[in-house]
Amino acid sequence: MPEGDTVFLTCHRLHDALAGEELTRGELRHPRLATADLAGRTVREVRPAGKHLLLRLDDDRTLHSHLRMDGAWHLYAPGERWRRPGHQARAILSTAQRTAVGFNLHDLHLVRTADEHRLVGHLGPDVLGPDWDPAEAVRRLTADPDREIGLALLDQTVLAGVGNIYKTEVCFLLGRTPWSPVSEVDAAEAVRLSHELLLRNAWHPEQSTTGRRGARHWVYGRRTCLRCGGPVRRGTQGTEERVAYFCPNCQRGASRMSASRRRIG
């Protein structure tokens, strides 16, 4: 699932291409929205909310999408060949200069802008949002001190935007395994690191949590730890069995593959 920085950059690219422009084509290929036609509407802005995309129109409606595991928005010049097959297209928004195509958008809604809260109101503070509130994020993170820190960081109602890559790397930089309880972690530092790492990667597509050229991650997706060279271990976490990487040499704490009944979304 794309991380918050990927959604942030996607939204800003869509905003730069579509904001202030009238749609010459506004087709939504979704069972609930098949009769909706957005042609003639003007895009006011495109804004992220955690991992959610909000495309606001001049008729006070918002097209909401979530990329989930395989969704993506692409931008094309008029007549340019799409890089994905047409049967995956769920939204086609064209202006005189650009076409935005949303592929594999399993979550797609068209709501009144005033009702956006029904879709994103449950989210915690947006790590890359203009109203980022680290104190509130810390409050939410520490509300359940027995919860595993990895699952708490992934919970979008705690703080919005952190995905599995950043969860893994934040835990590494904290020196704690993802299964460690929140009570054993410096919560303020976890929030600070989450914000710092996502912000560092917000304006370019290549994600790096290390600051080292040619070495993107400390332990995520690696066989050996970038810091100590020891073997990286891999397990799963939560009922959705999200992958969890850690270095037993550099990270202290529990390493059991426990599950949580809390939903991550």
Instruction: Show which residues are catalytic.
Output: 2-3, 51, 242
Nearest C-alpha neighbor of 11 from the set 41, 35, 37, 47: 47
Q: What is the rounded CA–CA span in Å between residue 21 and residue 223?
A: 47
Q: What is the rounded CA–CA span in Å between residue 265 and residue 263?
A: 6
The answer to whether 44 touches 91, Cβ cutoff 8 Å, is no
Scored b (16 or more CB within 10 A) or e, 90-128 reads bbbbbbeebbbbbbebeebbbeeeeebeebbeebbbbbb
Q: Coil, strand, or helix at residue 68?
A: coil
Length of the chain in terms of residues written: 265
Nearest C-alpha neighbor of 65 from the set 76, 54, 56, 75: 54
Q: What is the rounded CA–CA span in Å between residue 11 and residue 21?
A: 15
Q: Two tokens at 247? A: 């270095």
Q: What is the rounded CA–CA span in Å between residue 71 and residue 99?
A: 17
Q: What is the rounded CA–CA span in Å between residue 107 and residue 31?
A: 11
